[in-house]
A and B are shown apart, each in its own frame.
Chain A
Amino acid sequence: MTAKKKVLKFLSSPVLALSTLVLIAFLLVVGSNPWIKFGYQDTQSIFHSWFFLTVIIVLFVNLLLCVYQQVIRLLNRKEWPLNFLKEFDINRQLDVKQFLGTVRNYAAGKGYKSQVLKGTEIICWEKKRLGIWAAVIFHVGLIIICIGVFTELGFAFNGRIGMVPGQLFEDRLGSYLSAEAGPLHSHKEGAFSLYLHEIKMKYKQTGVFASADASLIESGTEVFRQNIAAGTPLRFKLWNVFFESFGYYIKTHLTIDDREFPLDVGLSTTFQKDYEKYSEVFRLDKTPYWLNIEFIPDRTSYTNHENRSYEPIQPFINLIVRKTENGKNEQIYQGQIPLGGTAGFDRAKLKFEEFYPWITLNAKMEPGLYIIYVGFVIGLTGLGLLYLWVPEYICVKWLEKEGILKVAIGGYKTKYKKEFQLYLNEFSKELAELLSKEDRS
């Protein structure tokens, strides 16, 4: 065997497929483990590593070669690998024509269309022939999924967009808060623009369900207007714009000694066990003050987080100020400031002037996603055929041995062979009885 053939044989071997699957399962277990760290990286980084990608590529090549071999084998198969399992005598005079007619009627009664094999005295019928392609269809589905994943890795684009009502966003790499693109993605800027009319809010017990009332603009004209929310992304061409998160900006006015300046703070939204929290911790530039600000939309229900309303009925901010100076770190203020109110700490004053909502959206171009879905559908169809559409082939043969008429029954089934053997035994009894009845008549 040449070296090339050896390599091909190795790459298409079922043992390689098995080893790769075991390795993938192992990597998935390790990668999902939050207690192991690789230096500063967590274990999830495995899934984005070259090693993991290489394992997937090996599986892909193995699948391709296996499918190729399976197809060649199926196309070259001239006949079913038939095994005649049961023979019984016929104790009466019967010619071939009568025999074939009786068996054909029997098969027709069971709903099978039978045919006599050319030049033989064998009558056969088959069930669910498509099932022999099931394994191939399943593996083709897996191959398409892999192609979809590779397309995603190479061509996908994902950009985060931050917007406030009345803002126009134009698709330029610099306009995104952050952007990730596959190495083969070429970003043609100006593919779309989005105008945010307003942020609509539904207030629930568990938080705010926000959505973005936005218009898609192409070449300066509005193409359509849609409410972008969790579960209802905006879709156009290969782009999908998903709702990502919602939060608040607060507008304050700060006075330190004689200096006055506006201070706008974008608060992060975090999900605590039972409620949604809008807060930020930051240091005031060139000062010793660390501010911890939490925005509370409704003071009336603040005491019990679980029952609080998120509707801004009596909004206020919780302010905690720490001062770090001369190696000391001490809390110098903790209090609540209602909208329009002012708090003083040390040499400073802070006025809570206004608040307004922000949203972030995710603009994604995922050319591989639809390929993955198609692969899933094909793969699952193959699996369905594999287990629910098992092909069966049954033949009945006219034999004459040493002047005695005999009938042989044989069949083929790709799976559940033991069950099938029992079925053939039952079937041969039934047929023998039928032929005996013919005899009596």
Chain B
Amino acid sequence: MNQLYEIGLHWASVAFYAISACFFVYGFVFKKERALKWGVAAAVAGLIPHTMALALRWYYTGHGPYLRRYEVYSSDVLIGLVVFTIVQWRKTTLRPLGVIIMPASFLLIGMAVLSSPEIRPLPETFQTFWLFVHIFFAKLAYGSCLIATALAGFYLLVNRSGFQSGGWTSKLPEPMIIDELSYKFTGFGFIMIGVMIAAGAIWANDAWGRYWAWDPVETWSLISWVIYGIYLHLRRIHGWKGTKAAWYNIASFALLLFTIFGIGLLYISNHSPYMN
């Protein structure tokens, strides 16, 4: 019965995110600033039942939301949206990023609630501080890279020939600023991925006696780190900026998404039982 409340709250947040996504798309297409504000309001309203749902689940299961698709996707969306809410609150000109972030979040939480909500006990090897650090930084990495990619997408949109500013679009920061912000968030995400890998290695060493075993998820996390490292290298040393950098950033995020959500489905990995 208790789990029904939690599932109900999850569905409520899905509804709010769907409304928010609609507002953002409407505001974006018809250049209505007011619709963007309603979009943010709906997203914040959705965060309330979403947080309550995850808190309830944490209470029932006795562990954080990091086992299986239901918990992993849902908590990823929550952290991603908290990061977005803070960013758009501190820099209101970046509010239109919601047109990319809200539909993506809606789809992801939709996938979460449609997967099995069955509660699984946490294996003993998971009851360690390092696991919390590992997962927390993984979610922060996802959140900051999502924002960086949304910024890169916006850069391409604003910078394309024939783009006519009007309505809220005239309040957008200059393309160069959007580009630099995307770089900043990518740099932050790169650090978060690094901490996630290091914390995961320490945990794996304590739990299984090896800090690195070339498990597909481990390897692909390293690939994501190297790919983002190449991005930073290209920017700092080879002067990549603007359109080229934006496309590279979007491609890197696609790879990160594959690492977080795809590897567990396609490869046999130590992480598979906890991510599927």
Q: Give the interface of A toward B (CB within 8 A).
A: 14, 17-18, 21-22, 24-25, 28-29, 31-32, 34, 44, 47, 135, 202, 204-206, 209, 229-233, 240, 242-244, 273, 362, 364, 369, 372-373, 376, 379-380, 383-384, 386-388, 415-416, 418-419, 422
Whether the pair B191, A384 counts as a contact (CB closer than 8 A) is yes
The answer to whether A416 and B206 touch across the interface, beta carbons within 8 angstroms, is no
The 4 closest A-B pairs by CB, nearest first: A242-B209, A387-B187, A32-B219, A418-B176
If A25-B223, A32-B219, A229-B124 touch, does A379 touch B194 (CB 8 Å cutoff)? yes
Residues of A within 8 A of B89 (CB): none
**B219 in contact with A28 (CB, 8 Å):** yes
A-B contact pairs, 27 of them (CB 8 A): A18-B238, A21-B229, A28-B226, A31-B214, A31-B219, A32-B214, A32-B267, A34-B216, A205-B121, A230-B124, A230-B207, A231-B128, A233-B206, A240-B209, A242-B208, A242-B209, A244-B209, A376-B194, A376-B198, A379-B194, A380-B198, A383-B194, A387-B187, A415-B183, A416-B180, A416-B183, A418-B176
| Inter-chain contacts of B267 with A (CB < 8 A) | 32, 34
Least CB distance from A300 to B in Å reads 20
**Contacts A34-B268, A229-B124 known; A416 to B191 CB distance under 8 Å?**
no
State A306–B116 Cα separation when bound (angstroms): 16
Query: How distant is the Cα of A347 from the Cα of B216 in the complex, in angstroms?
Result: 49
User: How far apart are the CA atoms of A116 and B204 in the complex, in Å?
Assistant: 54
Contact in complex: A209, B124 (CB < 8 Å) = yes
Whether the Cβ atoms of A369 and B211 lie closer than 8 Å is yes
Given A25-B227, A369-B205, answer yes or no on A18-B234 (Cβ-Cβ < 8 Å): yes
Asked if B184 lies at the interface with its beta carbon under 8 angstroms from chain A, I say yes
Distance in Å: Cβ of A35 to nearest Cβ of chain B? 10
Instruction: Give B202's nearest chain A residue, CB to CB.
Output: A373
Whether B207 lies near A206 (C-beta < 8 A) is no
Is A387 a contact partner of B214 (Cβ separation < 8 A)?
no
A21 to B220, CA, bound (A): 14
CB distance from B232 to the nearest CB of A (A): 9
Q: Report B162-185 residues with CB < 8 Å from chain A CB.
A: 174, 176-177, 180, 183-184
A401 to B118, CA, bound (A): 78
Chain B min CB distance to A304 (Å): 15
B125 within 8 A of A: yes
- Would you give the 0/1 interface string for B248-274, flagging 1 where the beta carbon is closer than 8 Å to chain A? 000000000000000000011000010
Report the nearest A residue to B268, measured CB to CB. A34
- Best-surrounded residue of A31, A47, A202, A387 (most CB of chain B within 10 A): A387
Q: Measured between C-beta atoms, what is the minimum distance from B179 to chain A in Å?
A: 8
Partner of B216, one of A32, A230, A232: A32
Least Cβ distance of A137 to chain B in Å? 13
Interface of A is mostly: helix
Given contacts A29-B223, A244-B209, A376-B198, 11 further A-B contacts (CB under 8 A): A21-B230, A21-B233, A28-B226, A31-B219, A135-B236, A231-B207, A233-B206, A240-B209, A380-B198, A416-B180, A418-B176
B95 to chain A, nearest CB (A): 19
- Contact at B121–A204, with CB atoms within 8 Å? yes
Assess the B220–A32 pair: CB atoms within 8 A: yes
Complexed CA–CA distance, A233 and B188 (Å): 33
CB-CB < 8 A to B222: which residues of A? 28
- Find chain B residues with CB under 8 A from A362 CB: 209
Check B128 against A418 for contact (C-beta < 8 Å): no
By a CB distance below 8 angstroms, the chain B residues around A422 are 177
**Number of B interface residues in the complex (CB < 8 A):** 44
Specify which of A31, A231, A384 lies most central, judged by the most chain B CB atoms within 10 Å of its CB.
Answer: A231
Which residues in A have their C-beta under 8 angstroms from that of B226?
Answer: 21, 24-25, 28
Q: Which of A28, A209, A369, A376 contacts B223 (CB 8 A)?
A: A28
Interface check B123, CB cutoff 8 A: yes
In Å, the complex CA distance between A232 and B128 comes to 10
| Cα A242 to Cα B203 with chains together (Å) | 12
Quote the shortest CB–CB distance from B219 to chain A (angstroms). 4
Q: Is B190 an interface residue (CB 8 A)?
A: yes
- Residue B237 is within 8 A (CB to CB) of chain A in the complex: yes
Contact partners of B174 in chain A: CB under 8 A: 418
CB of B241, distance to nearest CB on chain A (Å): 10
B243 CB, min distance to chain A CBs, angstroms? 16
Looking at the assembled complex, report how far the CB atom of A15 sits from the nearest CB atom of chain B, in whole angstroms.
Answer: 8
B191 proximity list for chain A (CB < 8 A): 380, 383-384, 387
Beta-carbon contact of A387 and B188 below 8 Å? yes
Contact in complex: B194, A380 (CB < 8 Å): yes
B7 at interface, CB cutoff 8 A = no
CB distance from A239 to the nearest CB of B (A): 12
| A25-B177 in contact given A14-B238, A206-B123, A376-B194 (Cβ < 8 Å) | no
The chain B residue with its CB closest to the CB of A204 is: B121
Return chain A residues, CB-CB under 8 Å to B183: 415-416
Contact of A18 among B177, B188, B233 (CB under 8 A): B233
Across the interface, do B230 and A22 meet the contact criterion of CB distance under 8 Å?
yes
Bound form: Cα–Cα A373–B237 in Å: 27
Q: Which residues of B contact A209 (CB under 8 A)?
A: 123-124
Flag if A231 contacts B223 (CB, 8 Å): no
Asked whether B177 lies within 8 Å of A419 as measured between CB atoms, the reply is yes
Specify which chain B residues have a CB less than 8 angstroms from the CB of A384 in the assembled complex: 191
Report Cα–Cα, A28/B216, bound state, in Å: 9
Q: A31-B214, A376-B194 are in contact. Are A14 and B233 (CB under 8 A)?
A: yes
Q: How far is the CB of B255 from chain A (nearest CB, A)?
A: 9
